Amino acid sequence: MSQEAAEASLEAPNIITLLHHAVHDSPVVDFLHHFEAPVFSGLVILALTFVARAATHQPSIVPGKLQNLVEMAVESLDDFVTGIIGPSGRVYTPFIGTLFLYIVAMNLIGIVPGMKSPTSSVNTTIALALTVFVYVQSVGIRNLGVLGYLDHLAGSPRPHGVVGMLIACISVPFNFILHTLGELTKPLSLSIRLFGNIFGEDVLIGQMLMLGIAALSFLHSPVGIPLQLPFYLLAILTSVIQAVVFSLLSTIYIFLMLPHEGGKHHSPTKGDL
């Protein structure tokens, strides 16, 4: 049994898994089963696109419920980003806001019967973390310049005198290696944290579901005791928290890449988007 099959057996079965068990030797079903996480990620993207389109297609001065909800979400996310980076960080709100909404939607879709959380797959979380990694490095290079970016990785040494120069010659290579490794481990920590929490909650719900079915197996009942229902509230809370943590750390990584002069933030340009 492959690792993906073993993980799927622990989670509650989704519609693609059930279809794969029911239909054999179908290239289309096999393809969907092999790419379950991207398929459900695509469904999330379509859902978010539909909501965004519906809310902004014909904006009104007196917003309706959907437009009001979307505007409130955008304003909250903007306050979230600028509260960490400062007013100049508003240019990064589209990236962080999209990241948060995408992750929280992927986390929560697994609660819907027949669906699967794409973030319960480590491949999805690694892809998200690598996206953040590339974006953060590009922000650093655009704001600091190539030499400034390398200076940042080297620990921004400013030696004074002969002794300071000698210490810098010794410390700079180590600082450069340590900071480079630190930048590379950030995607790993982001991806493992998100994957572990979402996969854990999906496994918990799946096992409670199977336990509830097994409890009434002697009655040959098509349904079981809904032991998983109390854990849905925990899954909702965990899903939102993990999306907040991922977005928060991503925002902090961007903030750490921005130049600071006299304790004030350097105003980033629109080209950083």
Q: What is the DSSP string of 10-45?
A: HSPP-HHHHHHHHS-S-HHHHHHHHTHHHHHHHHHH
Q: State the pLDDT at residue 271.
A: 41
**Does residue 95 have a pLDDT over 70?**
yes
Burial code (b: 16+ CB inside 10 Å, e: under 16) for 97-132 equals bebbbbbbbbbbbbbeeebbbbbbbbebbbbbbeeb
pLDDT in tens, 226-240: 777 888 888 899 999
Instruction: Report the DSSP beta bridge partners of residue 265.
Output: 260
The full DSSP string for 57-83 is: SS--SS--HHHHHHHHHHHHHHHHHHH
pLDDT of residue 75: 93
pLDDT higher than 80, residue 268: no
**Average per-residue pLDDT in the chain?**
82
Which residues form the domain of 131?
Answer: 3-272
- Is residue 258 within 8 A of residue 266, CB to CB? The reply is yes
Q: Give the Cα separation of 36 and 15 in Å (integer).
A: 10
- Taking residues 125-146, report their average pLDDT: 90
- Between CA 199 and CA 110 the distance in angstroms is 10
Strand partners, 264: 261
pLDDT at 176 over 50: yes
Give the pLDDT confidence score for residue 270 in this predicted structure: 41
Q: Does residue 223 surpass a pLDDT of 80? A: no
pLDDT of amino acid 178: 81
Between the alpha carbon of residue 228 and those of residues 111, 174, 212, the distances in Å are 10, 51, 8
Is the whole model's pTM more than 0.95, yes or no? no
DSSP-based three-state secondary structure for 157:
coil
What's the number of domains the chain is made of?
1
Which amino acid does the sequence have at 151? D
pLDDT band at 4 (very low <50, low <70, confident <90, very high): low
What integer is the mean pLDDT of 97-111? 94
Residue 108 token pair:
């929560």
Q: How large a percentage of the chain has pLDDT more than 90? A: 37
Residues sharing a CB contact under 8 Å with residue 7, sequence separation 6 or more, in sequence order: 120, 121, 199
